[in-house]
Each structure stands twice: as C-alpha cells, then as structure tokens.
Structure 1
Amino acid sequence: MTVAKAAPYAMSETQQICDKATAGSAQLRMSAGQRELSRMINLVGYTFPENQTLIVCTHVWDGSPVLLFSHHSDGDIQLLCGEHGHSPADALVVGLAEISGHLHLMQDIPTVDPGYRAVRSRIGGGWSIRGAGD
C-alpha cells in the first residue's frame, strides 16, 4: 500500500465520497432522546454516544493506520487512511461502538475541534491540525 505524502489538503476524491456518505448517515441516527440512553465513548478529546455514526474507509477498517481524522462542524467524524483514488465502495458508515475495540490504536490522535481535521504522513509522524477549508 502506498501512503500519500503530506501535502496541502485539497478536497480529495476520498473526501467527496465520504461527504456523500456522511450526508446519508443522518438517516441512521437516533433521536436526541434516544442518544442520551446510549453508552458514551471518548475519542479525540470529545465524548460521543456509542451509536454515533462515522465514516471509515475500508483500508482503515482492514487495519491500515488512520492518517486523516476529520471532525465536521455538524459533529460527523471520519477515520481515513489518507490515500487517494477511493471509490464509493471504499467508504463504510458504521457506529462508533463497532470500532470501540480499536480505539486504543487511535489514542495518539490529538483533540480535533468540530470543523477541523488532523493529518499525518505516517504512523508515529506528527499530526497537523487544519481547518476544513485548508
């Protein structure tokens, strides 16, 4: 697998695919009252309900490292490998509880405020926090 070199972030094919999947994920969400009954999970300095939906590329789902973490201003989150050339089939909409067994692998992701993303070029590399429009 080739990992993309850290470069100025532009709206990539992966981001466009994930944005479309994120828009569809609203249908999977429960009402605010039902969310309050959910177990809460800590991730990137925030606490989310375990039924929070997120976008995960298939590469990360299969074990590739998270090199791009996005926290949208609407609260949606994405865990991506940072590669280019993804297709819609590479985007999975899952519940946070489904990845809770892998959260220990994401402990080094810094706090990412809504509307920002964290990017790194490799495992162990430093994270760069960027605004959504950067």
Structure 2
Amino acid sequence: MEIHFNIIGAILIILAFAHMIFPFYFNWTNELQKLSLVNRQMMKVHTIFIALTVLLMGLLCLTSSKDLIDTNLGKTISLGFAFFWTIRLLIQFFGYSSLLWKGKKFETIVHIIFSILWIYISGVFWLNYFQ
C-alpha cells in the first residue's frame, strides 16, 4: 500500500504544478475578461487554493504514507481523501458536459486518463480506510 501512496503523492504534486499552465492553456486573459471582476478573481484564487490543496495532499502522501496507513488518524484522513477524490470522479462525468470531449481525440484521451486516475486515487484511499 505504501508504494501506492508514494505514486499518488508524486502524481498529485505534478498535478498541483500543472495548475500553473491553466491561465495560458485556457486563454484566461481573454476568456475571463467576459466575467465580472469578482468572478475573474474567484477563478484565479480558487485555482491557486485547489493547487495548494492538491500539493499538500501529495506531500502528505509522500512524507507520511506509513502514518496514513498504520494510524487511526491516517485512516480518517484517508477517508476524507477518498470522499474528496470520489466526488472529483463523479464531477468528471456529471459536472462537465460530454460536449467538451466527445468526438475530440485529444480531449477524449484526457477524459479517459483522468477518469482512470480519479478511480485509482479514490480506490487506494477507500482501500486504505477499510483494511
């Protein structure tokens, strides 16, 4: 189980830093201009805090995997992470329109990869909690 926490930790850290490209990749300079100032700033601030949360989850998985696996507090944290990533998995299918990826090769591949990733991450945390 420890190897899975290390893998997840590394993936989450990479994912956290990948948030840095969002403003460029999604052309926020032009796209967010259509929003009010408060909505524009909320997008940016929430993206930073999501990235920070994911980074801290990744660091916790890398630095404290043994504690997450062997202690009651670790199991409780794993339960919280399991809910978090399971909800993220559900959002992958019910929060985003399939129009964003259906019929588009690259976007479909990304959709499938992230679906598998969310299943893996949430599955490891659920498994850790229940074992």
Q: TM-score range by the shorter chain?
A: under 0.3
Computing the radius of gyration from Cα coordinates, the structure with the larger value is 2
Relative to its length, the structure with more helix (as a share) is 2
TM-score by length of 1: 0.26
TM-score by length of 2: 0.26
Relative to its length, the structure with more strand (as a share) is 1
